[in-house]
Amino acid sequence: MSEHTQTDPHHHDQGLLDRGITRGLIIAIGLTAVTFIAELIGGFWTNSLALLSDAAHVFMDLFALVLSLAAIHLAKFPASDTRTYGWHRAEIFASLINGTTLLLIGFGILSEAWGRLIHPEAVKSKEMFIIAIIGLVMNLVAAGQLHRHSHDDLNVRSAFLHVLGDAIASVGVIIGGIIMLYTEWFVLDALISMAIVLIIGWGAIRILREAGHILLEGVPVHIDINELVGKMRAIAGVNNVHHLHVWSICSHITALSAHIDLAPEYRLRQGEIIGTLEKMLYQDYHITQTTLQGECSSCMTGPVIQQLRHRSRESIDTHNHDHDHNTH
């Protein structure tokens, strides 16, 4: 059996990546804090529910960003005898909390917007417009800091979607401010708030779906199992692949375990073949944690995907006792 971890050659690159993400998050936190204070004060001053809704959204953005930064620091904690994977899953847990809080704040805004829709209230449209412009600029700068790392890190992507959603909401507030300034159609304030809820809800559902997929040990979306198995079988000396499992530990770390049925004439070259498999899995699929077992005589005809089953400790003990009895 071979346990392989691609860490040392890429440790420096990972350190640079983490520092880049941390720097982007700190800048985004500062900008978002300024936006929150401006929109909160401005919302009460102008009596704009849309602005207050955006301020509430920004507060959740701030919470999400701080949570994401904390998750990155938690992921740096070393593995131990009680947490052999370390704290990397903290990033996914943070994404799950972010998505849940987004949904909760969306329901709160929707409830308040419904009341304003039935009983519209006057809004200081000009002031609302100016404050929303300030918020938009801050949001766009913050989103720019996070965008470069949002493609391959779910934790950063959840924070990025918070900020991007708020930028889109700010555009809606700006447009609404202009329209209300010239028409005094104040019911638009409630309608904009409802549109913000749709933005919040869509982003939240995506985050929850992706975080849930990782927590349930789903195969990473960029990996086609059939293609992967085909490439493994194409390696010289590999007859078949059994008991295959592929899962994500966090956004940056993908793991794989499998039993490899080696051709008889290649069994003395097991280490070489497993090394070739590990290299292919890393280069083609960026799988950095591999556990490959060769010459598994008990599963030569086993399935590629092994169904896991619950077994009681008593049944295992009975099996072992029977085995020992038959041996003697």
Closest to 121 measured CA to CA, from 170, 54, 193: 193
Distance of alpha carbon 174 from alpha carbon 168, whole angstroms: 10
Which tens digits make up the pLDDT trace of 47-98?
888 888 788 778 877 877 887 788 778 777 888 888 888 888 887 888 888 7
Q: 200 CB contacts (<8 Å, ≥6 apart)?
A: 57, 102, 103, 105, 106, 109, 165
Structure tokens at 74: 């938690």
pLDDT band at 120 (very low <50, low <70, confident <90, very high): confident
pLDDT for 17 beyond 60: no
Token readout for 110 is 């929707």
265 confidence band (pLDDT: 50, 70, 90): confident
Nearest-angstrom CA–CA distance, 139 and 145: 10
Structure tokens at 135: 């918020």
pLDDT at 255: 94
Answer for the pair 258, 292: CB distance below 8 angstroms, yes or no: yes
* Beta strand spans in the chain (E): 2-5, 238-250, 253-262, 289-294
Lowest mean pLDDT segment, chosen from 131-135, 148-152, 209-213: 148-152
Question: What share of the chain in percent tops pLDDT 70?
Answer: 82
Residue ranges of domains in the chain, CATH in brackets: 8-215 (1.20.1510.10), 225-327 (3.30.70.1350)
Neighbours of 142 (CB within 10 A): 30
List, as one string, the DSSP characters of 120-187: -----HHHHHHHHHHHHHHHHHHHHHHHTTSSS-HHHHHHHHHHHHHHHHHHHHHHHHHHHHHH--TH
**156-169 residue pLDDT tens:** 777 787 788 778 87
pLDDT higher than threshold 90 for residue 123: no
On whether the CB atoms of residues 155 and 252 are closer than 8 A, the answer is: no
Mean pLDDT of the chain: 80
